[in-house]
Amino acid sequence: MTPTLLEWMGGAPALARLMETFYQRVPQDPLLGPVFAQMSPDHVAHVVAFVAEVLGGPKTYSAELGGHPHMIRRHAGRALTDAQRKRWMTLLLETADDTGVASDPEFRSAFVAYLEWGTRLAMINSQPGADLSGDAHMPSWGWGEVKGPYVE
């Protein structure tokens, strides 16, 4: 049986370590610090639950925190820039290296594909006037196949 991306990366503990370390670094980043200046104390746990579900883990975010439509709304009106998106990606991947997240090409290509898709979607949905009225399904990322709100 093929492991999920979450299992391959070391499970929820590895994902939590990645996100905790990443969000400890964010406030010192000149480009990202202001974006997350008002970050909720629950932010990291919510991101971990969301990404874990996307990568094949338990459906906690959907069951308890509103699913993909809620995540989309969390970005509303933030007017994220492509420079901020790219910096988020770079810092997260540097943190993945530093925290020992699996670095084999197969995993990293699938992981980076999700991050690229997700950060671009977040940027689009953050723009003033973005249509956030849809009922987006939770994305599900695997080893090269995608099932998401825009792909069935």
pLDDT of residue 59: 95
pLDDT of residue 146: 58
Query: CB neighbours of 99 closer than 8 A, spacing ≥ 6?
Result: 14, 17, 18, 21
The span from the CA of 46 to the CA of 98, in Å, is 22
21 with 30: CB under 8 angstroms?
no
Asked if the model's pLDDT at residue 150 lies above 70, the reply is no
DSSP secondary-structure letter at 151?
B
- Chain centre to alpha carbon of residue 37: 18
Which comes out higher in pLDDT, residue 70 or 82? 82
12 with 52: CB under 8 angstroms?
yes
Where residue 93 falls among pLDDT bands split at 50, 70, 90? Answer: very high
pLDDT tens per residue across span 4-44: 999 999 999 999 999 999 999 999 999 999 999 988 999 99
113 with 63: CB under 8 angstroms?
no
Q: Which two tokens mark 13?
A: 């503990």
The span from the CA of 135 to the CA of 47, in Å, is 20
pLDDT of residue 152: 45
Where residue 148 falls among pLDDT bands split at 50, 70, 90? Answer: low
pLDDT tens per residue across span 98-135: 999 999 999 999 999 999 999 999 999 899 988 887 67
Q: What is the set of domains in the chain, with CATH numbers?
A: 5-130+138-146 (1.10.490.10)
114 with 139: CB under 8 angstroms?
yes
The span from the CA of 8 to the CA of 104, in Å, is 10
